[in-house]
Amino acid sequence: MENTVCILYKIKNGKKYAKLTLAPIINYRDFHQMSTGRIYNLKQEIKQRKVKVIVDNNSETPIYIYSNLGNYIEHKDDSFNNMFYIEEEKRGFFPEENHSVCGRYEIELEPNEEKEVCIICSLEENIEEIDIKKVINDEVKRIDTLIEDSGLTFKIQDKELIKDYIIAADNFVVYRPSFRLHTLIAGYHWFLDWGRDALISFEGLLLIPNRFDIAKEILLTFIKNIKFGLVPNGYSGFDNRPLYNSVDASLLLFEQVKKYLNYTKDYKFIQEKIYDVLKNVIESYINGINLDDNNIYIDKDNLIVSRNT
């Protein structure tokens, strides 16, 4: 299950009849863009409580919404205009954009009635087959296992702090299907996996919480597309092309390999999978690198120089 959000509402009604209304709002944009002043064109296919929404004729990527209870009522030309983002304003960006309100679910509640309402939104079509309780329980167990395996609860008394740290750190670990390896999106959610950011955060996200198997995959991810000694600083969000616009990403790779060895003593993995790559990186820096106009070389004082940084 990918690209899916599950929400479970546990409702206990009071002494009077009530109606719960859930109105999803939709946006459809790149994460670097804003839908300021946008007017949406929606096409909806409704099959009882499951809805297929096509935004602005993007039929190759429809949005699916499903509720286990209630009636779905389609809205026409409805929008939530000028939603204000406080954090965006703090970061110096324009903070307002429009969303579309595609419709609403209405769930009726009798006096003293209790209900569990499951709402699922996804890019996957078969969302009505999802057992949302199982998804939530499996995720809770997975996080509990990460917390226990980290060993940090034995070192720090504040268990809630450790739990918050593990959950926060885990949010940056993603699976890159094209590599069949995990990667780090350290700049989530504004960037994809950037070499510098991922390697700088490598110790805190993976080594301290004892996620050594994932750490190995991250090292393999960032040597996969090394070119002329340069670790990709990132991958294009448009065509997934590696970007070689960093002088020090390769140097940070050495630092993280050293930290990996300090934590794991796994010299066999480094010798078999990483060592030859590191030798080639050193040779490339000694010989000079001119890739994507970086023009990297060793100066007379043995410091690394790049004319475009």
Average pLDDT over residues 44-66: 95
Give the amino acid at 29.
R
* Residue 278 pLDDT exceeds 60: yes
Residues of the chain with pLDDT > 90: what percent? 69
Query: For residue 32, is the peptide bond before it cis, meaning its omega torsion is within 30 degrees of 0?
Result: no
Average pLDDT over residues 261-284: 96
Render pLDDT for 205-221 as a digit per residue (tens, 0 to 9).
999 999 999 999 999 99
Q: Residue 28 CB: number of other CB atoms within 10 A?
A: 17
Return the pLDDT at 268. 97
SS3 of residue 226 by DSSP: coil
Residues of the chain with pLDDT > 70: what percent? 97
* Measured distance CA(55)–CA(167) in Å, rounded: 32
Render pLDDT for 224-262 as a digit per residue (tens, 0 to 9).
989 989 998 888 767 778 888 888 899 999 999 999 999
- Strands annotated E in 94-155: 96-101, 103-109, 114-122
Q: In what order do the strands lie in the sheet with 96-101?
A: 25-26, 96-101, 79-84
* Residue 47 pLDDT exceeds 90: yes
* Residue 12 pLDDT exceeds 70: yes
> Which residues are within 8 A (CB) of 44 and not within 5 positions of it... i.e. 6 or more apart?
51, 52, 53, 54, 74, 102, 103
Tokens of 140: 């809770």
Render pLDDT for 131-188 as a digit per residue (tens, 0 to 9).
999 999 999 999 999 999 998 877 667 788 888 999 999 999 999 888 899 999 877 7
Tokens of 184: 């780090």
Tokens of 191: 């960037």
